[in-house]
Amino acid sequence: MKLSTCLTIIFFGAASLICNAQTTIQLSAVDNGKNPVISKYIYSHFAEHLGHGIYGGFYVGDTSKIPNTNGVRNDVIAALRKMKIPALRWPGGCFADTYHWKDGIGPKDKRPEMVNRWWGGVTEDNSFGTHEFLNMCELLGTEPYLAGNIGSGTVQELSDWVQYVSSDSKNPMSELRKQNGRDKSWKVGFWGVGNEAWGCGGNMTPEYYANEFRKYSTFMANGGDGKMFRVASGASDDDYNWTETLMKNIPHGLVEGVALHHYAIIDWGKKGPSTNFTEKQYFQIMQSAMRMEELVTKHSAIMDKYDPGKKIALVVDEWGGWYDVEPSTNPGFLYQQNTIRDAMIAGVTLNIFNNHSERVRMANLAQCVNVLQAVILTDNAKMILTPTYHVMEMYNVHQDATLIPLTVKTDDYTLGTDKLPAISASASKDKDGVVHISLVNIDPNKAKQVTVNLGDIKSTHITGRILTSQKLQDYNSFTEPDKIKPEPFKDAILKNGAINITMPAASVIVLALN
What pLDDT, on a 0 to 100 scale, did the predictor assign at position 15?
42
Quick check: 404 and 30 in contact, CB under 8 A? yes
What pLDDT, on a 0 to 100 scale, did the predictor assign at position 7?
44
What pLDDT, on a 0 to 100 scale, did the predictor assign at position 22?
86
Q: Of 504, 482, 494, 483, which is closest to residue 457 (Cα–Cα)?
A: 494
In the predicted model, what is the mean pLDDT of residues 314-342? 97
* Domains in the chain with CATH codes: 6-33+405-513 (2.60.40.1180), 40-400 (3.20.20.80)
Mean pLDDT rounded to a whole number for the chain: 94
Residue 412 vs residues 14, 57, 416, 420: alpha-carbon distances, Å? 21, 39, 12, 5
3-class DSSP state of 123: strand
Does residue 385 register a pLDDT over 50?
A: yes
Question: What is the spatial distance between Cα 318 and Cα 337, in angstroms, rounded to a whole number?
Answer: 18
What pLDDT, on a 0 to 100 scale, did the predictor assign at position 2?
33
> Model confidence at 235, in pLDDT bands (50, 70, 90)?
very high
Question: 251-269: string of b/e by CB count within 10 Å (b at 16+)?
Answer: eeebbbbbbbbbbbbbeee
Give the DSSP H/E element, type plus range, for residue 234.
Answer: strand 229-236
Q: Specify the DSSP class assigned to residue 55.
A: B
Region of 61 on the Ramachandran plot (φ > 0 left; ψ -120 to 50 alpha; else beta): left
Residue-wise pLDDT tens digits, 167-198: 999 999 999 999 999 999 999 999 999 999 99
Percent of the chain whose predicted confidence (pLDDT) is above 90: 91
* 318 annotated active-site: yes
Residue-wise pLDDT tens digits, 116-164: 989 999 999 999 999 999 999 999 999 999 999 999 999 999 999 999 9
3-class DSSP state of 231: strand
What pLDDT, on a 0 to 100 scale, did the predictor assign at position 21?
61
- Choosing from 132, 256, 318, 393, the catalytic residue is 318
Three-class DSSP labels, 7-35: EEEEECCEEEEEEEEEEEEEECCCCCCCC
Question: 322-344: string of b/e by CB count within 10 Å (b at 16+)?
Answer: bbbbeeeeeebbbbbbbbbbbbb
Question: What is the spatial distance between Cα 253 and Cα 261, in angstroms, rounded to a whole number?
Answer: 23
Quick check: 164 and 176 in contact, CB under 8 A? yes
What pLDDT, on a 0 to 100 scale, did the predictor assign at position 319?
98
Amino acid at 346: A
Residue-wise pLDDT tens digits, 9-23: 444 444 444 455 689
Main-chain phi, psi angles of 491, to 5 degrees: -100, 10
The distance of Cα 220 from the centroid of its chain, to the nearest Å, equals 26
In the predicted model, what is the mean pLDDT of residues 413-438? 97
- Choosing from 196, 212, 256, 393, the catalytic residue is 196
Question: What is the spatial distance between Cα 15 and Cα 235, in angstroms, rounded to a whole number?
Answer: 42
Question: 473-505: string of b/e by CB count within 10 Å (b at 16+)?
Answer: bbbbeeeeeeebebeebeebebeeebbebbbbb
What pLDDT, on a 0 to 100 scale, did the predictor assign at position 12?
42
What pLDDT, on a 0 to 100 scale, did the predictor assign at position 287?
98
Main-chain phi, psi angles of 227, to 5 degrees: -70, 135
What pLDDT, on a 0 to 100 scale, did the predictor assign at position 226?
61
Provide the terminal-to-terminal Cα distance of the chain, rounded to the nearest Å.
Answer: 43
Question: What is the spatial distance between Cα 46 and Cα 375, in angstroms, rounded to a whole number?
Answer: 11
Residue-wise pLDDT tens digits, 68-108: 999 999 999 999 999 999 999 999 999 999 999 999 999 99
The better pLDDT of the pair 57, 7 is held by 57
What pLDDT, on a 0 to 100 scale, did the predictor assign at position 33?
73
> Model confidence at 388, in pLDDT bands (50, 70, 90)?
very high
Ranges 10-24, 302-316, 331-345, 492-506: which has the least confidence: 10-24
Question: What is the spatial distance between Cα 314 and Cα 302, in angstroms, rounded to a whole number?
Answer: 11
User: Using omega within 30 degrees of 0 as the cis cutoff, is the peptide bond preceding 320 cis?
Assistant: no
Residue 463 vs residues 159, 494, 514: alpha-carbon distances, Å? 50, 10, 9
* 143 annotated active-site: no
Which string of DSSP letters, residue by residue, matches 454-512? -TT---S-EEEEEE--SSTT-B--SSSTTSS--EE----EEETTEEEEEEPSSEEEEEE
Does residue 480 register a pLDDT over 90?
A: yes
> Model confidence at 27, in pLDDT bands (50, 70, 90)?
very high
- pTM of the entire structure? 0.94
Q: Of 397, 287, 248, 272, which is closest to residue 339 (Cα–Cα)?
A: 272
